[in-house]
Amino acid sequence: MIEAVGLTKRYGDKTAVYNLSFQVRPGAVTGFLGPNGSGKSTTMRMILGLDNPTSGQVTIGGFPYRKLPNAPRQVGALLDAKAVHGGRSARSHLLSLAQLSGIPARRVDEVLGVVGLQDVARKRSKGFSLGMGQRLGIAAALLGDPQVLLFDEPVNGLDPEGILWVRNLMKALAAEGRTVFVSSHLMSEMALTADHLIVIGRGQLLSDMSVRDFISANSADFARVRTPDTEPQLREKLTSALTEAGGHVLPEQDGGLRVTGLPLPRISDIAHDTDVRLWELSPHQASLEEAYMRMTQGAVDYRSTIDQKAGLMQPLPPGAQPPMPVPGQGQPGWYAPPSPAQGGQPFAMGQPPANPYGTPNPYGGPAGAGGIAAGPYGAPAPMTPQTPPQQPQGPAQAAPQAQGGPQAPAPGVPAVQAPAAAPAPDAAAIPATPAPAPAAASAQPSPSPDLTKPEDAR
Say what angle helices 90-101 and 106-115 make with each other, to 10 degrees.
Answer: 130
Contacting residues for 339 by C-beta, under 8 A, at least 6 apart = 346
Cβ–Cβ < 8 Å for 394, 456: no
Same domain, 158 and 268: no
Q: What is the CATH number of the domain that holds 192?
A: 3.40.50.300
Same domain, 192 and 240: no
Q: C-alpha angle with apex 176: 174 to 179, nearest 5 degrees?
A: 40
Q: Is the pLDDT of residue 237 over 60?
A: yes
Counting every residue written for the chain, the total comes to 458
Same domain, 39 and 184: yes
Whole-number pLDDT of residue 324: 62
The single-letter DSSP state of residue 125 is: G
Distance CA 446, CA 415 (A): 11
The single-letter DSSP state of residue 151 is: E
Q: Tell me if 36 is assigned to some domain.
A: yes
Same domain, 11 and 64: yes
Same domain, 272 and 170: no
- Tally of CA atoms within 13 A in the half-sphere of 436 that contains its CB: 2
Measure CA 387 to chain center.
58
pLDDT exceeding 90 applies to what percent of the chain?
54
Q: Report helix, strand and coil shares of the chain as percent, to nearest 5.
A: 30, 20, 55
Range in 89-103, 119-133, 350-364, 436-450 with the lowest mean pLDDT: 350-364
Provide the residue range defining the domain that includes 261.
Answer: 220-296
Same domain, 70 and 198: yes
Q: Tell me if 447 is assigned to some domain.
A: no
Whole-number pLDDT of residue 286: 84
Q: What pLDDT digit, counting tens, does each position of 391-429 carry?
A: 555 444 444 444 444 454 444 444 445 444 444 444 444
How do beta strands 14-24 and 75-78 pair?
Answer: unpaired
- Listed residues 244, 262, 296: the one ending a domain: 296
State which amino acid sits at residue 307. D
Q: Tell me if 337 is assigned to some domain.
A: no
Measure CA 35 to chain center.
22
Range in 9-13, 34-38, 429-433 with the lowest mean pLDDT: 429-433
Q: What pLDDT digit, counting tens, does each position of 269-284 carry?
A: 999 999 999 999 999 8
